[in-house]
A and B are shown apart, each in its own frame.
Chain A
Amino acid sequence: MSAALDSAIYELALGNPNGIDNDFLKEALPEYPLEDIVNGVNRLLQNGRLELLQMGARILYRGVNKSEMERMSGLTSDEKLVYKHIENSGSEGIWIRTLKQKTNLLQGVITRCLKGLEQKALIKSVKSVKHPTRKLYMLIDVVPSSDVTGGPWYTDQEMDIDFIDQLSRQCYQFIYAHSFPRHNSKAVYSANHTGYPTSSQIRRFIQENRITNVDLSTENIEELLTMLVYDSKIERIAPAFDMDTGAQFSDGGSKSRTDWMYRALRITAKDSPFTDIPCGRCPVFDRCSDTGPITPAKCEYFKKWLTF
């Protein structure tokens, strides 16, 4: 009798992943008195087939599926608690100190639980790019979010400068090739030219030419292009307007996002007057004066430069 009731409650709970409450059970199982239902729920909670959720003042029961139960079966209650919190942190992961605050457990207990969970291959620890000294815990099968890994620009928690350099050079070359008329390299396109590449075109170019295996989003490409803009290698141009609707052209149907065009700049090799003289890059410039051991009259760099 009680076994049949238990399985009925369990089935109902599994059928409603958002949880069920006492009123729901009373309505669903009218043949049982409330007392029996409550006892049944208690039994299920005890052997871990149901779990309690609190939503405001309401208390809900949620069914725990078999695989989850198997996983949790060998765990102590502390471990279960820690596991739940780690599970809730999702792909962001959770830091041990936050875990301590949330669970109110002692440091030693938490460390033991984490070790146990790691041994059972239920959780893993990852290092965050933002806080390289912090260890974040998350479930073993969860892929860390780009906030934690730093996105495609990071390899082993370090910014991959070579990768960025390579890719930005490719982007620059692509933009350069489309910035000036082909038949006459000295000419420029007219002011209303709309054939300059956009970030989505550059992304397509990178994907089609298999320049990298990493999957780059348009946002990633834009980050790279912004960097090139700050390098004064390219220039951002306001996108063309759709004359009929007054809306901006954009791909993917998202009208809110501005699709900037990019144009390469001709002036890249800067010839500053400081390039001329040795003082520009002189390592002892600040110590150079009229008197003392370092003076322009005795300067070795000047000597080399003048005999060059």
Chain B
Amino acid sequence: MYIQLANLCKRIVCEYYGPIVESVASVLIRDGRLPLSLLIKYTQLSPREVRQALTVLIQHGIATHAALKDAHRIITYYSISCRNILRLQRSGLYLALVEERMGKDGLSILRTIMTNGCISFATVRDLLGFNDMSQPAKIKFNAVVAKLVRERFVVAVTLQDTSTKIDRIMQAEAKELDKMTVPPTAKELLNIRRKIGEREDEEYNSSTVIGIKRAADSEPNGNHPAKIVIGPDGRSAVIPNGHDATDVADAVDDTQCFRVYYDRLDVFLRNQQLINYFADKYNAGAGAIVKSILRVTEPHTKTCRNKASDTISASQIFQNLSPDAPIIDSVDTGSDMFYQKLGDSGVSGTNGAAHGKDTLSIAKRSEMAFALLEVVRSDSSGIIVKVDDRGAGQYRVNFERAAATLRDYCLDSLIHEKFGSMHSRIVRVLRDRQKLDEKSVSTAAMMPIASCRERLHDLVLAGFIDSVEIPRSADRNPSRMFYLWHINPKKQMQTAMRYIYQSIINVLQRLEKEISSHDLLLTKTKRDDVIADESLLTDAERKELLELANTRKRLEVACVRLDSMLLVIHDVNPEYADA
């Protein structure tokens, strides 16, 4: 872990939960897993405060706990997830996303759940004044709640959520080992681990939505208690009754607590980045096609852990294309003549001019959409893959390639900004050709060897590239050594993340300073008399407030944008999405 990451996490925790929680969190970040006694000792807080702080962190899914059997007693260890802390600053993006898809109700529900960590919908309803709503508003509200749960924007909180995946695996392994009378052989151990892994995967892939009650068709109100079973893992689940989820009126279990499923929300953010990539590279029409593809695949793409989407057909893509998508005239297919003829025949036909024009525009639109689909499929990134030619074609999204493309693109832009275009050219050469010596780099990048060497050293000092030495003689004399330059993708990613963490810290610090320098004025604006009568503020003060608001906006936007780089570089990668 980098010191920048620790500092940033501390800052965020302090901003969201205050200094007491921050001191507990910072000890956990610094020292890793700790039992309560040591936490109290290191933080020098009272046991009560530490317990409360831990409760807050566990409530918000930031801290986890695991019981470990010692010789005579059971000790509970607490650990913290920096990843979940960093997600806090992305909350604005998550809320905007939910507002776009679920409307105002969705926004207020998700905000309430986010503020409270995990909460049941009964409490959410109380907090949002459900009882005072009109009947249509109530129905709409319930529909949004059902949709939020069904589409997994929020998930039911289970016992497993309070422990990390590694803890769960360790516990399951210990359980299996306890059953055995003799220590396991290596093969048996391997078998046990494989089984546990399979069980984890099965649970992950299960399509059952916990916490949703399905009312029978005869009882459309959905208030009838559904049949809930307790699974082997202690989780409650509904037995699927063979109906499609959308066929049945869903009702959410009001007593079940829910939390925001951030892993799932990251999928939507990643998909937005993908749409932007194609829209920038080709045009808005290509972006619309990719948007349609991703919308179709979204329900089955649970988290960024999925390496590829389901296979979907071209007609599904075209059906989901939004009617106002700007795809007309976005591809030059060179077949306008054909439509001219078609239009003419429509006009002269029995159905009249209007029908002819309609046929024309529909035919043209579908041809355009197909041409655009071919364009995005033949893109060099290989993100959209054609699986089969059946029908108009079967397609799939390769999320691994998507993550790699977005990451490389983001890293290149970072290096481009930090060092310049020549440096980013060198990095691309190395990424493409892997291990190269100085001379080959300078030939491929077409730059004089002296300046190439200088740039290679800049990059290696910053940690974006690496060198490996190959001795020509056994004495490993430095002058008789080949030095090959190459890229270590993991290290490059970590270096970039360190830069981003530091930059976010800088922006936050500046923000703090800007606010504290206007402390007096801000205190004044919070006075009851000023709130009641704004004319108590002078013109100069109003101007100052406006400037401060602008400054805050700029700095906060910068923070969000930097955070989106973190998302692209690290979080959307299937390899790390499961951490």
Contact = CB atoms under 8 A, between A and B. Distances in A.
B331 A190 contact: yes
22 contacts: A186-B283, A187-B329, A188-B286, A188-B330, A188-B331, A189-B332, A230-B429, A230-B445, A231-B425, A231-B428, A266-B281, A270-B413, A273-B562, A274-B413, A276-B557, A277-B507, A277-B558, A280-B417, A296-B505, A299-B506, A299-B510, A306-B555
Interface string A193-217: 1000000000000000000000000
Interface in B89-129: none
Given A273-B561, A306-B551, A306-B554, A188 B513 contact: no
Given A230-B432, A235-B380, A281-B418, A273 B329 contact: no
B447 A265 contact: no
Given A188-B282, A272-B416, 16 more contacts: A158-B448, A188-B286, A190-B332, A191-B374, A230-B428, A232-B412, A266-B282, A271-B413, A273-B561, A274-B413, A277-B558, A281-B418, A290-B7, A296-B513, A299-B506, A306-B555
Contact of A272 (B378, B417, B445, B514): B417
Contacts of A276: 557-558, 561
Nearest to A153: B446
Contacts of B510: 296-297, 299, 302
Interface stretch (A65-73, A169-177, A220-228, A241-249): A220-228
A188 B334 CA distance: 11
A190 to B, nearest CB: 5
Interface of A: 130, 153, 158-159, 161, 164, 181, 184, 186-193, 223-224, 226-227, 230-232, 235-237, 265-267, 270-277, 279-281, 285, 288, 290, 295-297, 299, 302, 306
B503 A277 contact: yes
Contacts of B428: 230-232
A281 B282 contact: no
Return the 5 tightest CB-CB contacts between A and B, nearest first: A273-B561, A272-B413, A191-B374, A181-B332, A297-B513
B198 interface: no
A188 B332 contact: yes
A231 B429 CA distance: 9
Given A231-B425, A280-B417, A159 B447 contact: yes
Nearest to B452: A159
Nearest to A183: B332
A161 B565 CA distance: 33
Contacts of A231: 421, 425, 428
A13 B421 CA distance: 63
Interface residues of B, number: 58
Given A232-B428, A297-B510, A226 B444 contact: yes
Nearest to B412: A232
B502 interface: yes
Contacts of A279: 502-503, 506-507
B237 interface: no
Contacts of A299: 506, 510
Interface in B403-427: 410, 412-414, 416-418, 421, 424-425
A158 B450 CA distance: 11
A297 B509 contact: yes
Contacts of A227: 425, 444-446
B75 interface: no
B564 interface: yes
B445 A188 contact: no
Interface string B528-553: 00000000000000000000000100
A43 to B, nearest CB: 52
B506 A191 contact: no
B375 interface: yes
B196 interface: no
Contacts of B375: 188, 190-191
Most buried by A among B429, B446, B513: B446
B285 to A, nearest CB: 8
B454 interface: no
A186 B329 CA distance: 8
Contacts of A226: 444
A274 B329 contact: no
B523 interface: no
Contacts of B448: 158-159, 161
A150 B48 CA distance: 76
**Dominant secondary structure of chain B at its interface with chain A:** helix
Contacts of B281: 265-267
Contacts of A273: 558, 561-562, 564-565
A60 B286 CA distance: 74
A195 to B, nearest CB: 10
B235 interface: no
A226 B444 CA distance: 8
A14 B379 CA distance: 64
Given A188-B282, A191-B377, A230-B445, A274 B331 contact: no
Interface string B318-360: 0000000000011111100000000000000000000000000
A237 B381 CA distance: 12
B374 A190 contact: yes
Contact of B425 (A161, A230, A270, A280): A230
B417 A270 contact: yes
A113 B9 CA distance: 75
B219 interface: no
Nearest to B428: A230
Interface in B384-416: 410, 412-414, 416
B280 interface: yes
B371 interface: yes
B414 A224 contact: no
Contacts of B432: 230
Nearest to B449: A159
A294 B23 CA distance: 26
Contacts of A266: 280-282
A190 B333 contact: yes
Contact of B446 (A158, A159, A189, A280): A159
A230 B448 CA distance: 16
A179 to B, nearest CB: 11
B400 to A, nearest CB: 21
Contacts of B558: 273, 276-277
Contacts of A186: 283-284, 329-330
Contacts of A193: 332
Nearest to B564: A273
Most buried by B among A187, A231, A277: A277
Contact of B447 (A161, A274, A280): A161
Interface string B134-155: 0000000000000000000000
Most buried by B among A271, A279, A285: A279
A220 to B, nearest CB: 11
A224 B331 contact: no
B110 to A, nearest CB: 25
Contacts of A190: 331-334, 371, 374-375
A281 B331 contact: no
A280 B330 contact: no
A280 B499 CA distance: 9
B338 to A, nearest CB: 14
Contacts of A159: 446-448
B519 to A, nearest CB: 14
Most buried by A among B507, B510, B555: B510
Nearest to B282: A188
Interface string B511-525: 011100000000000
